[in-house]
Amino acid sequence: MRTAAINRRAFIGAGAASSVWLAAGNSTAATTDAVPKNYRRIAVEECFNIPEIAEVQLAMGVSRHAIQMSNATRKQLFEGLLEVEAGRLRDMDAAGVAMAVLSINAPGVQNLPDAAQATALARVANDRLAELVRKYPTRYGGLLSVAPQDPAAAAREIERGITQLGLNGVIINSHTNGEYLDDRKFAPIFEALVALGVPLYLHPREPSDRLAAAQDIPGFNVGWGYAAETGTHVARLITSGLFDRYPTLQLVLGHGGEGLPYFLSRLDNRFEFEMKLVGRQTLQRKPSEYLRQNIHCTTSGMNYWPQVRMMIEVLGIERVLFAADYPMEDMLPAVSAMDAAPLSAADRARFYHGNAERLFKLRS
Amino acid sequence: MRTAAINRRAFIGAGAASSVWLAAGNSTAATTDAVPKNYRRIAVEECFNIPEIAEVQLAMGVSRHAIQMSNATRKQLFEGLLEVEAGRLRDMDAAGVAMAVLSINAPGVQNLPDAAQATALARVANDRLAELVRKYPTRYGGLLSVAPQDPAAAAREIERGITQLGLNGVIINSHTNGEYLDDRKFAPIFEALVALGVPLYLHPREPSDRLAAAQDIPGFNVGWGYAAETGTHVARLITSGLFDRYPTLQLVLGHGGEGLPYFLSRLDNRFEFEMKLVGRQTLQRKPSEYLRQNIHCTTSGMNYWPQVRMMIEVLGIERVLFAADYPMEDMLPAVSAMDAAPLSAADRARFYHGNAERLFKLRS
C-alpha cells in the first residue's frame, strides 16, 4: 500500500459511497424548501485530539482491537484530528455548519492502564478544549473528557469542567478496561452529572473483551462492532435501573442511537414478556419510556433519511440532534442529506440547533 | 410468585403491550383495503418442540444463560411448544394464518455437549416434523434441525431432510458451543445448502461466552441480547467472505433482520472507509449487495410498521417475509398490524405468501 497516496480528504471521500442511500432514502420525500447556506447548524459529535494524547495513543497502538492500519496511515488520520482551527473552520464554512461541539477522539484516555496518567491527560485535554471554545465562542462548544479509571477523580473533573471551564457536557467512550458504567463503582460520575444537570455523551469504541465475538470483524469494526459495543452498554445501563436511580439523567447516543430506536417496540414487548417469565419487575417504567425521557440520539454517520425518520418517529423530534462525526465523516453530504429531509421549518430548527442549544446549554 | 397464575395465554398477552406501537407506526399510513380473514398468510418462524428434546433441555436448564425462570414456568412454556395439532391450528385459524413453517425451539440440540446425542436427536426431530407436514400438507412446512457439533453429519442430515423428508430449509440457532459459522470447519453445512438450493434460517439464541457483556441483561435478554448475538454472527459471516465463496447461498434472518437493515447504509460507508485505512479489499462486493442478494428478513416479533417499512425500503419487498414467532408471540396482533400496513395488493401478496412460497419451495 502506498501510504503517500492517502490523505484525510481521501478518507473522507468514502462518505460519497453512500450517496445512493441518500437518494434512495429521500425517494418518497416531499420536496422541501431550500435551506440557506448560513443556517444555524450545530454538529454535536465532532472529534479532535491534542498532541499529548495522540502521542500516547500512537505509542500504544491506540487499542489492541482498533482497526489495524499502518502507523503512517494512523498518523495521517491523526492530522485531521489535531487540526482544530483554520482547516476545520473552513470545512465547517464549506458545509454550512455554524457550530461544532467538540470532543476528544475515542477511546480518549480510557485505554491507559495508569489511572493517574489518564486523569492528568484528561485535564490537559479539557483545558485545551476550553481555550478553544473561549477563542471561538460562536463556532465551538465542548464535551469534557474524563478518566473513569478513577471515578472520584472523574467526578471532580466533571465539576471543574462545567463550573470552571464552562464546557457543555461530558463524553465517555463506552467501556473502560472492559468495565461498563452499570458497575456501581461509577456512581460518583452519575452523581456529578445529575447534580450539574449536564448530559453524558456515550460514544462508541472498539468492543471490550467481554464482546470478543464483535472484535476484529474486518470492515465492520466500526459499522457493526461499535454499535454492538455501545448498544449493549446502553442495554446494561437501562436494565441496571440507572434511570430509576437518576430520573433526570440525560444520555446522548450517536450513530442513530446505536440501533436502539430500531428495537424500541421489541424491547418493550420482550421486556414485559421476560418479566412475566421470571416473575418479578426490575424497573419502574417501560424501556421505551427511558428512551423517550432519558436519551437523545444523534445522526452522526447516519444521516440517511430512513434511519433519521425512524428515530424521529419513535423518539420524537425533540430528542434527535444533528451530528456529522467529522473528520471521520465528511460534513457536506451529511448536511445535504438533512437539508433535503422532509422536515417542517420548526422541526428542522429543532433538529439542527434548538435541541442542541437546550441540551448542551449553548448560546443561541 | 404464583406460577399457577401463569399460562401460555397470559405470556402471549404481553404482545398487547405494543399496541401503542402499532398505532404510532401506522399513524402516517394511507388507509388500506380490508384483507380477507382467509387470505393466504404464511408465517415462517414458528417454533415447536418434541418431548425428547424438551426433556433434555429441562434437565439441563436449557442453557446456562437462558432466562432464569422457574422450572414450573418453563414447563408451562414448553406446553405451548409441544402443542402442534388442534390447539395450534385453532390459533392459526383465529388469526387467519393459513400456513406455518415450523422449526424446533432455540437452541435446538446445539447446547448438547455430546455431538452424537445431538445428531441423533436432530434426526428424531426431523422425522417428527416431516410426519407433521405430511399429515397437514396445506398447514405446515418445516425447517430441519441439525447438530453443527458434527458438521459432516449435519451436512448428511440436510441432504436427508430435503431429499428424503421433503422439508423446506434448515434452521441453525446462532452459535454452537461458542463457535460461529464463519469457522471453516462448518463448510460441509454450506456446501450441502448450496448443492440442494435451500435457505438457512439463522435463528437467535442467548449470546455466547464470546459476547459475555450481552448475556444476562435482565429483561433485555431476548430484545437486545438475541439481536446482538445473531447480528454479530451475520456480521462475521459477511466479512468472512462466505457469500463470495457461496454466491447463491440464501440466509434468512428473523426479528427485523436482527438490526442489520437499520445499519445497512452505515455498513457500506464504514466498510469502504475501513478498507481504505487498512489498505486492502477483503470482499468482492459492498455489504449492502450481500444483504440484497443473499439475505431475506422476516418480521417475527417485529410486526411494527416503522421497522417493516425500513426493511422493505432498504432490502426490497421481495426479501421481506411475514413471521409471527408463535408461541412466543401472539399471531393475532402480528396479523392485525400487517393487514393494516399500507402495502399494495401485489406487495402484500409477496410479503404474506409469495416470497415464502418461492424461498421455501412451498406449494402455492
At B221, is the secondary structure helix, strand, or coil?
helix
Q: Which contiguous run of DSSP H or E holds residue B330? A: none
Res A101 pLDDT > 50: yes
Banded model confidence at residue A26, pLDDT cuts 50, 70, 90:
very low
In chain A, what residues touch B256 (CB-CB under 8 Å)?
A: 262-263, 266
Pairing verdict, β A251-253 and A200-203? parallel
What's residue B5's pLDDT? 34
Single out the residue of B338, B326, B258 nearest to residue B105, CA to CA: B326
- The contacts of residue B337 (CB under 8 Å, 6+ apart) are B22, B25, B26, B303, B304, B305
- The contacts of residue B139 (CB under 8 Å, 6+ apart) are B89, B92, B98, B99, B100
Instruction: Tell me whether residues A273 and B222 touch, CB distance under 8 A.
Output: yes
> What are A121's three cell numbers?
491527560
In chain A, what residues touch B309 (CB-CB under 8 Å)?
A: 306
Cβ contacts from A onto B, under 8 A = 267
- The contacts of residue B289 (CB under 8 Å, 6+ apart) are none
In chain A, what residues touch B284 (CB-CB under 8 Å)?
A: none
DSSP state of B298: E
pLDDT, tens only, B259-291: 999 999 999 999 999 999 999 999 999 999 999
pLDDT, tens only, B56-98: 988 887 777 788 888 888 888 889 999 999 999 999 999 999 9
pLDDT, tens only, A85-95: 999 999 999 99
What's residue B68's pLDDT? 85
Select from A24, A213, A219 the Cβ nearest to the Cβ of B271.
Answer: A219
Res A157 pLDDT > 90: yes
Q: Which of A74, A208, A224 should we substitute to test contact with B (largest number of B Cβ atoms within 10 Å)? A: A224
What's residue A72's pLDDT? 86
**Average pLDDT of A38-47?**
96
Res A22 pLDDT > 50: no
A295 to chain B, minimum CA–CA distance in Å?
A: 17
Is the CA virtual torsion B255, B258, B259, B264 positive or negative?
negative
Q: What angle do CA A173, A174, A178 make, to 5 degrees?
A: 120
Count Cβ atoms below 10 Å from residue B38 Cβ, excluding itself. Answer: 9
Pairing verdict, β A42-48 and A99-104? parallel
Instruction: Tell me whether residues B231 and A239 touch, CB distance under 8 A.
Output: no
d(CA A235, CA B140): 37
Res B7 pLDDT > 80: no
> What are B247's three cell numbers?
454466491
**Average pLDDT of A234-255?**
98
Average pLDDT, chain A: 91
In chain A, what residues touch B16 (CB-CB under 8 Å)?
A: none
The alpha carbon of A324 is separated from its chain's Cα centroid by a whole number of angstroms, namely: 10
Average pLDDT, chain B: 91
Share of chain A above pLDDT 70, in %: 91
Tell me the Ramachandran region of residue A120: left when phi exceeds 0, alpha when psi lies from -120 to 50, beta otherwise. alpha
Catalytic, A114? Answer: no
What's residue B87's pLDDT? 96
Pairing verdict, β B99-104 and A320-321? unpaired
Q: Largest Cα–Cα distance of chain B, in whole Å?
A: 62
What is the 3-state secondary structure of chain A?
CCHHHCCHHHHHHHHHHHHHHHHHHCCCCCCCCCCCCCCCCEEEEEEECCHHHHHHHHHHCCCCCCCCCCHHHHHHHHHHHHCCCHHHHHHHHHHCCCEEEEEECCCCCCCCCCHHHHHHHHHHHHHHHHHHHHHCCCCEEEEEECCCCCHHHHHHHHHHHHHHCCCCEEEEECCECCECCCCHHHHHHHHHHHHHCCCEEEECCCCCHHHHHHCCCCCCHHHHHHHHHHHHHHHHHHHCCHHHHCCCCCEEECHHHHHHHHHHHHHHHHHHHHHHHHCCCCCCCCHHHHHHHHEEEECCCCCCHHHHHHHHHHHCHHHEECCCCCCCCCHHHHHHHHHCCCCCHHHHHHHHHHHHHHHCCCCC
What's residue A70's pLDDT? 86
pTM, full prediction: 0.93
Is the CA virtual torsion B296, B314, B221, B69 positive or negative?
negative
Banded model confidence at residue B32, pLDDT cuts 50, 70, 90:
low
- The contacts of residue B319 (CB under 8 Å, 6+ apart) are B292, B295, B296, B297, B311, B355
Select from A223, A238, A270 the Cβ nearest to the Cβ of B271.
Answer: A223
What's residue A17's pLDDT? 38
Least confident stretch, A180-184, B66-70, B131-135: B66-70
Least confident stretch, A111-120, A292-301, B32-41, B236-245: B32-41
Bridge-partner residues for B47, per DSSP?
B103
pLDDT, tens only, B292-328: 999 999 999 999 999 999 999 999 999 999 999 999 9
Best mean pLDDT range from A52-66, A71-85, A164-178:
A164-178
**Average pLDDT of B208-219?**
97
> What are A170's three cell numbers?
461530558
Instruction: Tell me whether residues A239 and B220 touch, CB distance under 8 A.
Output: yes
At B261, is the secondary structure helix, strand, or coil?
helix
What's residue A20's pLDDT? 38
**Average pLDDT of A332-349?**
97
Res B18 pLDDT > 60: no
> What are A124's three cell numbers?
490537559
Q: Which amino acid is at A119?
A: T
d(CA B122, CA B142): 13
At B286, is the secondary structure helix, strand, or coil?
coil
Q: Do the Cβ atoms of B302 and B256 come closer than 8 Å?
A: yes
Instruction: Tell me whether residues B236 and A217 touch, CB distance under 8 A.
Output: yes
What's residue A154's pLDDT? 98
Banded model confidence at residue A32, pLDDT cuts 50, 70, 90:
low
Instruction: Tell me whether residues A232 and B221 touch, CB distance under 8 A.
Output: no
Pairing verdict, β A140-145 and B295-298? unpaired
Pick B165 or B34 by higher pLDDT: B165
Select from B67, B227, B269 the Cβ nearest to the Cβ of A274.
Answer: B67
d(CA B358, CA B111): 32
In chain B, what residues touch A6 (CB-CB under 8 Å)?
A: 276, 279
**Average pLDDT of B220-235?**
98
**Average pLDDT of A58-70?**
80
Residue with cell 442430515: B157
Res B8 pLDDT > 60: no
Q: Which amino acid is at A359?
A: L
Instruction: Tell me whether residues B228 and A231 touch, CB distance under 8 A.
Output: yes
Count Cβ atoms below 10 Å from residue B34 Cβ, excluding itself. Answer: 8
Banded model confidence at residue A364, pLDDT cuts 50, 70, 90:
confident
pLDDT, tens only, B327-351: 999 999 999 999 999 999 999 999 9
Res A98 pLDDT > 50: yes
d(CA B25, CA A270): 18
Is the CA virtual torsion A122, A125, A131, A135 positive or negative?
negative
The Cα-based distances of A6 to A1, A154, B83, B309 in angstroms read 9, 37, 62, 39
Catalytic residue among B325, B330, B339, B347: B325
Res A37 pLDDT > 70: yes
Instruction: Tell me whether residues A211 and B212 touch, CB distance under 8 A.
Output: yes
Q: Which amino acid is at B22?
A: L
